[in-house]
Structure 1
Amino acid sequence: MAAAGRVAGKVALVTGAARGMGRAHAVRLAKEGADVIVLDVCAPLPSVAYPGASRDDLHETVRLVEVAGRRAVAIVADVRDHDLLCSEVAVAVDRLGGLDIIVANAGICVVAPWDRATPEILKDTLDINVVGVWNTVMAGAPHLVARGGGSVILISSAAGLKVQPYMVHYTASKFAVTGMAKAFAVELAKDSIRVNSVHPTGVETGMSAGGGLQAAIGAAIEADPRPAGMFTNMLPVERVAAEDVADAVLFLASDESKHVTALAMTVDAGVTQY
């Protein structure tokens, strides 16, 4: 018998689920009654300054979902690989009996001012943050159609609504995700599938906390301090927690948002209003 909860009896697919926001989404959905397909590449990522997630990280996400009393199916796959993603998701959906929720969370962030960015940085960012999101929807949406409806949640960024300095490539990718969510919402509406995007400010994860990413931002600010204020949140917090973003994802995944689609939902501490 399904556990009581806001997404009880549903099945979710979460990409980039080995740690950080992806893990937070998976665990939050599990605690509210969903079984979860957790997918991650579990390997170093191109161009990025921070270490990639590991298989042990993904196994820990599985453990946390199971501790919450729900089933988890782990997939090690690259969201850039359309055919592999489709086949692996189909197998996992068959094991869990359907699919109701897609959370396209996998993404990378590379800090590089315009004159330090390389063609490789642009390609890697667009391939993972844009093509990977498209692949995720294409792998999962047919299963939502078969189910008779569902919710698709694309993780964009504050940078998908307002320019993020020192990373033209990242801003471009996240604006693309924002538009993709609205376009998918239009076409999937006839199948009772809602599509929304979520736009966090900086999030306290392995990607953003300390290390190479923060050092790169610091160096960029030192070289050109004028845009630095664009990172300032309206509320007196430097970053939000991954669990704060997961709360928004849960709302969009649940029937509480049954008439919400094509929304760009911010969890940004007001940064996009400056």
Structure 2
Amino acid sequence: MGQFDGKVVYITGLARGQGRNHAIRFAEEGASIIGLDIAGPVADHTTYPHATADDLAETIREVESVGGKILARQGDTRDLAFQEQLVADGVEQFGAIDHVIANAGILTWGQSWELTEAQFTDVLDVNVVGTWKTLRAVLPSMIEGGRGGSIVVVSSSAGLKAMPLQASYTASKYALTGMAQTVAKEVGEYKIRVNTIHPYAVDTPMAFEDTSAQHAFTIEKYKPHFAPILNDPFFSTRDEVTAMVMFLCSDAARTITASQFSMDQGSTKV
């Protein structure tokens, strides 16, 4: 018996990193997975390696290797019609959607007056508009299904504390925090809960293979803004983030909604 036997989980950005980890762990606990990933370049100004179609195929393979069922497709969260079709096909195959993890996002770096227009609008489009389109695609089915459920929106420590060199990212993650609270107030009557999680650094390629991030953390005048309370460990593991997500989707969190959960080594309190 798994903790999520019979449940269906919709995950964006599941080709690797946190999204893949969520998919595998939920599958191990009995859930069926519906998901998507752009699995290719998103913008030419990001400075970390992008996910690939091979990464997406590996996620599917790993979910199936633990006995899970998965419907995953290559696509963009900014494409509402694509997400609506994926939801429709997933509900036809698995019967419902119980939990949603809005995980897809991108990051770029630069001083606010030096960012290009693309660096600002691309991040807002993916992180905010893409997340809204995810919620727009899944909520009608969740409401109609009448099973309640949980939505976890992946924000960031930058959604609680403004970070230098991250004007577009910080703006997007603050927006997600507010959006989640609004949606929570609208869907509470349907027993759907909506919360945000706020990691700092996580052991993923997006965090640890970003050359711009590595440079930013060496800039002396900005170091105090980046310093967390806990330096050891400086980062969260993917399993630690998944554990928080699974808790928020579990019956143990049935009274929790419109809340923010920091996993930030205390960085937002410095």
Task: Name the TM tier (shorter chain).
Answer: over 0.9
Q: Deviations over 1:26-57 (max 9, x none)?
A: 11211221111121011101121122211111
Once the two structures are TM-superposed, the CA of residue 216 in structure 1 deviates from its matched residue by 4.2
- The alignment of Structure 1 onto Structure 2 pairs a total of residues equal to 267
Q: Deviations over 1:4-35 (max 9, x none)?
A: 22222100010000001111111121122111
Once the two structures are TM-superposed, the CA of residue 135 in structure 1 deviates from its matched residue by 0.5
Could you tell me which of 234, 242, 247 is aligned with 1:246?
242
The reply on whether 1:270 has 2:266 as its aligned counterpart is yes
Q: One-letter code of the match for 1:8?
A: D
Where 1:196 maps in the other structure, the secondary structure is strand
In structure 2, how many angstroms separate the alpha carbons of the residues matched to 1:210 and 1:94?
A: 38
Q: Which residue of structure 2 aligns with residue 22 of structure 1?
A: 19
Could you tell me which of 224, 227, 248 is aligned with 1:232?
227
Q: One-letter code of the match for 2:191?
A: S
Q: One-letter code of the match for 1:226?
A: K
In structure 2, how many angstroms separate the alpha carbons of the residues matched to 1:89 and 1:151?
A: 16
Once the two structures are TM-superposed, the CA of residue 229 in structure 1 deviates from its matched residue by 1.8
In structure 2, how many angstroms separate the alpha carbons of the residues matched to 1:90 and 1:27?
A: 22
- Identity score, percent: 39
Query: Quick check: 2:48–2:209 contact (8 Å CA) kept in 1?
Result: no
Q: Deviations over 1:61-116 (max 9, x none)?
A: 11111122110111111011112211122112211111101100000011112132
Q: One-letter code of the match for 1:142?
A: P
In structure 2, how many angstroms separate the alpha carbons of the residues matched to 1:132 and 1:211?
A: 22
TM-score of the superposed pair, with normalisation by structure 2:
0.95
In structure 2, how many angstroms separate the alpha carbons of the residues matched to 1:66 and 1:251?
A: 23
Q: One-letter code of the match for 2:243?
A: D
Could you tell me which of 85, 88, 96 is aligned with 2:86?
88
TM-score of the superposed pair, with normalisation by structure 1:
0.94
Once the two structures are TM-superposed, the CA of residue 211 in structure 1 deviates from its matched residue by 4.2
Query: Quick check: 2:12–2:103 contact (8 Å CA) kept in 1?
Result: yes
Once the two structures are TM-superposed, the CA of residue 270 in structure 1 deviates from its matched residue by 1.2
Q: Which residue of structure 1 aligns with residue 74 of structure 2?
A: 76
Query: Quick check: 1:38–1:62 contact (8 Å CA) kept in 2?
Result: no
Query: Quick check: 2:40–2:51 contact (8 Å CA) kept in 1?
Result: yes
Query: Quick check: 2:27–2:66 contact (8 Å CA) kept in 1?
Result: yes
The reply on whether 1:128 has 2:126 as its aligned counterpart is yes
Unmatched tracts of structure 2, length 5 or more: none
Query: Quick check: 2:49–2:209 contact (8 Å CA) kept in 1?
Result: no
Q: Which residue of structure 1 aligns with residue 33 of structure 2?
A: 36
Unmatched tracts of structure 1, length 5 or more: none
Query: Quick check: 1:232–1:238 contact (8 Å CA) kept in 2?
Result: no
Once the two structures are TM-superposed, the CA of residue 269 in structure 1 deviates from its matched residue by 1.5
Q: Which residue of structure 2 aligns with residue 100 of structure 1?
A: 98
